Structure 1
């Protein structure tokens, strides 16, 4: 039988354990892998569209849809490229920024679901997030791909631009570190048009970005204290750390609070009121790997 995107999606869905995406595998569950409803939630798509893809009735998915499905299904890079070809698309070319999140990182995120964690690409575009991230900072699923870029949010609209409510950082180390990262990304991905467009936009719209860029600003990411002014619980002060994955040009931004602190109580309240369980799962809605 001829391989299609639909048959490949069904095969990849059947092999993926619900536990690996932060779902609980309850006794009596018939599906060994992911249900269509679960894949749709994780990919930020409608169930009907996933059904039509698998049945071959939707034949022209966009590159962003394929990328989101590949992340949700935890495909290896070669499988992701195969999915692009089955959809009649060219895989992302070399020299461009990847939006692929390795399966190992995704499994780790599924088990860290009680913590606010965001995954960013090399140009600091938010690719995925845990339910606790959405509970603390606001749900990014309603934002466009352009609006999910942290550098644009910091320099174009202020440091709270990516969050729904104000985020206050106690020092000014973030800006130079982000500029240094974009300088490195430009060397590593010289053919990425979105990156070139982002740099041109920021140089024309932000005097602060232009100053730091022209001065050759460099600076590593360091642990920072950030206070989220949340409308439900007030101020939540967190430690924010940026983690990198060897061999993969993505960043994990992790917010943590001290156990037993007032901030921990407030974060726990947000998790409970937003339906986030301690296994990191959440009720139906925009998932961990929503479409950019």
Structure 2
């Protein structure tokens, strides 16, 4: 831990934290007293930590050091492990999507893509996903939760979960996914509230929840029964975003297939004719 603290202190410049550089600075990074000041601890205590002579710091001290040294999430967790302290659990599933992921989703050619939270809320999507599945921008945050939609509705045009072919498989994966979210976020009112809502409103969810499964096979291919272009069969790939506990779901059609042509048509039409009856 002492070595880790020294290395991270050396890479931070005074200007990074709003301190004057000064003319007689001999250290390449911050001084020990500057780190101590930023972390709201004594210089003597911080010096002892860097010399491997101090007692293990508390969770509060570690949080101050992580803030003072501008540590990333991974570095913060590493510091906690070095100190023998388990990192604090996040209060609930993260909802902020990295700008790079938003850019990736928007740039995918002829692919419908969404970014989903750990509790199946659609956080971001591209135009083709809106045309293929639903115009998520017209739905409230509550109605953009696919777990709720899978078991409680409402379903567009009476078609359960956007008329996809893997309704039962997706329902099973939701129960498994929410069980994992409950374990990762045991103090989250949002996670507990969603599970309680599904248990109180869906006999099917009760059955799946009580089965206690902790693993479910992912669907690699599914068919959307679209009201405008008919059935669209797509490959379904899920990319895990570990640091955000999110998933990028990408739908692509086989090259040269009728489904690829359907996606091309939807990319032009967009959501402007989603009122066409099936």
Q: Give TM-score scaled by structure 1 length.
A: 0.57
> Partner of 1:134 in structure 2?
130
Corresponding residue number in structure 1 for 2:224: 228
Q: Matches of 1:104 and 1:229 in 2, distance apart?
A: 31
- Partner of residue 260, structure 1: 256
* Structure of greater Rg: 2
Match of 1:147 among 143, 150, 153: 143
For 1:245 and 1:266, the matched residues in 2 are separated by 29
Which position in structure 2 is the counterpart of 1:109? Answer: 105
Contact 1:176 1:218 (C-alpha < 8 Å) held by counterparts: no
Residue 245 (str. 1) matches residue 241 (str. 2): yes
Unaligned 5+ runs, structure 1:
1-75, 78-92, 277-292
Give the number of aligned pairs.
Answer: 186
Distance 1:179 1:206, change over 3 A: same
Would you say the 8 A contact 1:237–1:263 is kept in 2?
yes
Paired position in structure 2 for 1:205: 201
Q: 1:160 to 1:169 in 2, by over 3 A?
A: farther
**Shift of residue 225 of structure 1?**
2.6
Alignment-derived partner of residue 95 in structure 1: 91
More helix by share: 2
Deviation at 1:140, TM superposition (A): 1.0
Q: Deviations over 1:272-292 (max 9, x none)?
A: 12299xxxxxxxxxxxxxxxx
Match among 169, 174, 193 for residue 178 of structure 1: 174
Match of 1:119 among 102, 108, 115: 115
* Contact kept? 2:121, 2:144, Cα under 8 Å: yes
TM-score (norm 2): 0.60
Aligned mates of 2:189, 2:271 — CA distance in 1: 39
- Taking the aligned partners of 1:244 and 1:194, their CA distance within structure 2 comes to 21
Give the deviation of 1:271 after TM superposition.
0.6
Match of 1:169 among 149, 165, 168: 165
Shift of 1:224: 3.3
Aligned match of 1:194: 190
- Relative distance call for 1:166 and 1:104 in structure 2 (3 A) is closer
Q: C-alpha displacement at 1:191, in angstroms? A: 2.1
- On the 8 A contact 2:149/2:161 being kept in 1, the answer is no
Q: Whole-Å Cα distance in 2 between the matches of residues 145 and 161 of structure 1?
A: 20
Change (3 A) 1:126 1:166: closer
CA RMSD of aligned residues (A): 2.9
Question: Alpha carbons of 1:171 and 1:150: their partners in 2 closer, same or farther (altered >3 Å)?
Answer: closer
SS of the aligned residue for 2:168 comes to coil
Contiguous gaps of at least 5 residues in structure 2: 1-71, 74-88, 273-278
Greater length-normalized contact order (CA 8 Å, ≥ 6 residues apart): 1
Cα contact 2:161–2:167 (8 A) shared by 1? no
